[in-house]
Every structure is written in C-alpha cells, then in structure tokens.
Chains A and B, each alone.
Chain A
Amino acid sequence: MKHDDIIALAHLARININSDMVDDVTDNINNILSLVDQLQQADTDGVEPMSHPLDASQRLRADEVTEKDQRDSLQSVSPAVESGLFLVPQVIE
C-alpha cells in the first residue's frame, strides 16, 4: 500500500489521519499485511469458509414486541439530543 491508498482507506473507514502520521501508518499497515500474506501459502481448495465456531446459524425469535420504549434512558448518554432526535451538523441545504 502506498501513501495515497492509506488516505483512501482511511476515508472509507471514516477516520481522519493527520498528514504527518500517514507515512508511519502506511509502514505499520504494510508490515501487518505482509504478516497476513502468509495465508496465501495455505492450500484451501474446497474448504468451506468458517464464520462461526460451532457452525450455528442465527437464532430466530417470534415476531412479538418484547422491549419497552427506553428512548429517554438510551439517549441520556448522547452528545446532542433535542426532542428525542440526535443532532448532527446540517445535512440538507
């Protein structure tokens, strides 16, 4: 990965990287990627990818209301709230 790739990746991950940090981050990410590149040696032909240790599927429940309305309590930890709504900078002109 090059300098510009990291800037594009950081945009995808919605993280700002200070310009004087980009070289450091690039080096570290490249070191990690060369570590994980060892995976390419493994013969995985015909091996089913494993996403769950017990190969379990998502448990479903009956389509019934089970939770009470806790909006006020859950929004009590929000940085900016008004009338039950989360406030963000203006999005629509």
Chain B
Amino acid sequence: MHQYTIAELITGLREKRFSSTELTQHYLDRIHTLDKQFNSYISVNEEQALASALKADERIAKGESGDLCGIPIAHKDLFCTQGVKTSCGSKMLDNFIPPYNATIVENLANAGAVTLGKTNMDEFAMGSSNESSFYGAVKNPWDTNTVPGGSSGGSAAAIAAQLAAATTGSDTGGSIRQPASFCGLTGLKPTYGRVSRWGMVAYASSLDQAGPMTRTAEDAAIMLNTMAGFDAKDSTSVDEAKPDYTATLNDSLEGLRIGVPEEYFQDGLDNDVATLIQSALAEYEKLGATLHTISLPHTHLAVPAYYVIAPAEASANLSRFDGVRYGHRCDNPSDLMDLYKRSREEGFGEEVKRRILVGAYALSAGYYDAYYRKAQQVRRLIKQDFVDAFKQVDVIAGPVAPTPAFGIGAKSKDPVSMYLEDIYTLPTNLAGLCGISIPCGLTPNKQPVGLQLTGNYFAEAKLLNVAHQFQQQTDHHKQTALND
C-alpha cells in the first residue's frame, strides 16, 4: 500500500480494496520498523491516528468523504497541533503542547486526512541540511551518509522512505524545494499569502510559506486544494480566488514559453546536476514548449539580501521565547534578565543564536540603513528581475540546488558554505513567487536531482500543470529510495 500515490490511495479507499484503518496501521508499522535508520519523525501519534482513520472509514462508508479522507499524512513539527507536541526541532519548545491547531492542520483534519505524527526539521526552520535539529540529524533514505536537505528534511525523508503518503513543509528560502530535490520528491512552495501561516511557528514572516511535499504533482494539487485559501486569522493571507488545482493538470504544453536564466548555470553548478537539468529541458521541448534564455541579473545578491532580511525578522519573531509564557525556562533564575538570557542560551541551538545575533546587529541603531534598508532595496531589484522575465516567458526553469545531497557533517561547521547552498531557491522567496521542485533523474551515484520551476504570482495551477505533464512523460518520480 505504501507504494501508492494519494490519487491511487483515493481509488483504493473508494473501491474498498483496503480501509483507512488498515492503511494507517500499515504506515505506523513501517514507521516503527524503519524510521530508526532515518529519524524522520519527532513524534508519532498512534492512538490519535487510528481514531481519525476510524472516523474517516465511517465517512467513506456513508459516501460523504472528500479527496483526502482517510489518507495518512504527517506535519512538519512547526505546525501547531492541538494536544500534540510542536517542538520546531528545538529544545526551546520540547515541552510545548499547543492549545490550538494551525489553520492548515485544521483544514486537512476537516478533510479527513489522518495525521500519523510530526516530522523532524532544522531548528526553527533555520538550515539546509536538517542537522541542526535538537532531535538529531535526519538521514537521507537514498544514502544514509548524506543529508536529506532542510529545513523540511524530516518531511522529505518520511516520503522518500514511504513512511507517509504526503507531508506538509514550510519554505522560507528553499526549505520545501531543496529537500524535495535531495530526496527525489515533488515539493511546492506556493505564492506568499496563498496558504495560511496562522499556527505555523514564525521564522521570517515576510518570506515564510507552507506547502505540500508529495510523490507527484497530481498529489500536490490534491493537497493544495485543501491547504490553500484565505484565512482571516493570518493578516498576510491574500483573498484571491482559489482554482481547483487538479482541473488543469492535463492542459497541453504546446507553445509554453520556458525561461532559462543564464545566471543559474554558471560556476558552482555541479556537472551531473547540469546534465540532468539540460535533459529535462529537452524533454519539455518534446512536449511542445520553447526554451528562452533569460537574465535575472541580481541573482548573486539574493544570498546576502536573504541573510539580512531573514535574520532581522527572526530576531524580532524569536524574542517571544523568553522563558515566561511558554517554552524552556532555566532553573533558579537570579533576576528577570538572568531568566531571559539563560533560558534563551539553553533553549536555542548555535545556528538559531547566530541568526538572532546577525538580525539584532542589522536592526541596531547606526546599522539599519546600511544593512536592513539596503537589503530591502536589493529585494525589490530581485523582484523586478522576475517581473521583467515574466513579460517574456510563462515559467522559469533551472536547478533547485547546485549539488545533489552532500555528506552529513560536510558543511555544518561552516555556516556561510551552507548558506550558499540556497542560491537558486532564495530569489523565489524574496520575490514572493511560487516554485516547485520535481525529480528529473539520478546522478551516476544514484542521487536524486530536482528541476525547479518558478511561476508568476498565484500561478500554482500552471506550475502543477507543467510539472504533471513532465511526470506523464517520464518515470523519474517513480524511482524510490527503498525497494520494498
């Protein structure tokens, strides 16, 4: 059963070939047997999952179920789940049991999706390797000596090892797309404001966006149908009509104009990755698309702009963790200042502290104009590059990351080398556009590589159509890490 896509599971459930209870139990058994090797889950909620599965079975029997009814999924551990620990991969929130559900958790639960558990992640979503989690590194199921990518590394590894039918992730600078690339999955970052951020622990509020991680584009469309939509509780949610994302999956790509940014194919791009991207582009030509070289001239400034804006927002967002209202509190504080400082010293890991300090510096008196204001100006230049490009092309295609998955420990001692890993994904977040990673083949070392497609604002349906058509033509998304 674990080999099936969501679309196939929906048919199986409706035709009563298996029940949601059987399916859920099967996934729970797999998690217990296999996840010791990968560490993709922080918590597994067996009782709750089986209770939801039973309810889903009743709804299916009555014929009142929607697409996701009875489908076992898992949430990245930064989405608040009522009564279930939401740690954000941090010691700071190791004891945090939210009194409410995030909007997307609520939406998916109302649709009948079964939550198996919460997946591992880089602490507070700050990382590109899932090595900064308080709960230990996640291992890539394709090669356990390598990282699964980050920050949604647990969500990616859980699907790659077939320990969930789909997962939720969040993407602030590439945290859905890069792990999807490293683990051979489909991962969609929607347009900023498309999916509610309410109940998602905030990292950088003007960049954060939640999205689905799945095996196929069709599954991502099914998930997005339930996840997306206006939410009055999120002040940055956009009240924009939501299409049925599955309705246009089969549209023809005849005449589609694909922009290929020259800046994404320069020094630093691994040869094996470049070869696979080029053959994916050739595949699109066979589908009737035309390729156009474009320029995104401010790409090289995306990493420096991001590493001012994201830490600045993080330093403000994470000021709420003060040992007073919730989260970790140090023992025997001598006074209020000691309570704040030691609770934060003990509760946060190294990378989180680094980003808070960089952000505090960028926002401090005398430096604001030189760093924060300057970065926001550069952010507009980056956005303008895309606005100009989308006058000539319908979607933009290129690599997700410069390399396939790297070794565990290879970059963790050198933060700057880790930051450069996100060079092709950060611009999408800075501009607020939507992007998707889809599998486009394996390197000679059998490591998956993702093709990144970037779409205009609210063009998720187009991106999913372009991704789905590729998956109708190729088998890359059917390759699996485990052969069981």
Contact = CB atoms under 8 A, between A and B. Distances in A.
Interface of A: 1, 6, 9-18, 25, 28-29, 31-33, 35-42, 44, 47-54, 56, 58-59, 61, 70, 73-74, 76-80, 86, 88-91
A61 B234 CA distance: 12
A54 B457 contact: yes
B334 A89 contact: yes
Contacts of A56: 193, 236, 238
B255 interface: no
B81 to A, nearest CB: 13
A42 to B, nearest CB: 5
Interface residues of B, number: 71
Given A51-B206, A89-B333, A42 B315 contact: no
B98 interface: yes
A13 to B, nearest CB: 4
Given A39-B378, A42-B378, A31 B336 contact: no
Contacts of A59: 235
Contact of B376 (A6, A31, A51): A51
A32 B341 contact: no
Contact of A6 (B235, B304, B357, B374): B357
A89 B336 contact: yes
Contact of B324 (A11, A35, A88): A88
Contacts of B327: 79
Interface of B: 95-99, 192-193, 206, 232, 235-236, 238, 298, 300-301, 303-305, 307-308, 315, 319, 322-327, 329, 333-342, 344-345, 348, 353-354, 356-358, 360-362, 364, 370-371, 373-381, 383, 415-416, 419, 430-433, 457
Of B298, B356, B357, B376, most buried by chain A (CB within 10 Å of CB) is B357
Given A51-B206, A73-B99, A88-B339, A36 B307 contact: yes
Given A10-B357, A44-B374, A77 B304 contact: no
Contacts of B371: 36, 39
A39 B306 CA distance: 10
A42 B357 contact: no
Nearest to B82: A73
A89 B376 contact: no
B335 A89 contact: yes
A49 B376 contact: yes
A50 B304 contact: no
Contacts of B96: 77
The 9 A-B pairs of least Cβ separation, nearest first, read A53-B432, A49-B376, A44-B377, A16-B345, A79-B329, A50-B380, A16-B341, A13-B360, A47-B377
29 contacts: A9-B361, A9-B364, A12-B364, A13-B315, A14-B340, A14-B341, A16-B344, A25-B353, A28-B354, A29-B361, A32-B354, A32-B358, A32-B415, A32-B416, A36-B307, A36-B308, A36-B358, A39-B301, A39-B308, A42-B298, A48-B377, A49-B380, A52-B206, A54-B193, A54-B457, A56-B193, A76-B99, A77-B98, A78-B326
A47 B373 CA distance: 10
Given A35-B304, A50-B380, A70 B416 contact: no
A90 to B, nearest CB: 8
Given A35-B416, A36-B375, A49-B376, 11 more contacts: A10-B357, A15-B345, A15-B357, A44-B374, A54-B192, A54-B238, A56-B238, A59-B235, A77-B95, A77-B97, A77-B99
Contacts of B358: 29, 32-33, 36
Of B326, B342, B361, B371, most buried by chain A (CB within 10 Å of CB) is B361
A25 B380 contact: no
Contacts of B322: 14
Q: Chain B interface mostly helix, strand, loop or mixed?
A: helix
A9 B358 CA distance: 9
A13 B206 contact: no
Of B416, B431, B433, most buried by chain A (CB within 10 Å of CB) is B416
Given A29-B354, A54-B457, A56-B236, A17 B345 contact: yes
A36 B360 contact: no
Given A61-B232, A79-B329, A88-B324, A15 B354 contact: no
Contacts of B97: 77
B431 A91 contact: no
B78 to A, nearest CB: 16
A13 B356 contact: yes
A54 B432 contact: yes
Nearest to B420: A35
A53 B235 contact: no
B375 to A, nearest CB: 6
A25 B345 CA distance: 13
Contacts of B379: 49-50
A41 B305 CA distance: 12
A47 B304 contact: no
Contacts of A39: 301, 304-305, 308, 371, 374-375, 378
Contacts of A61: 232
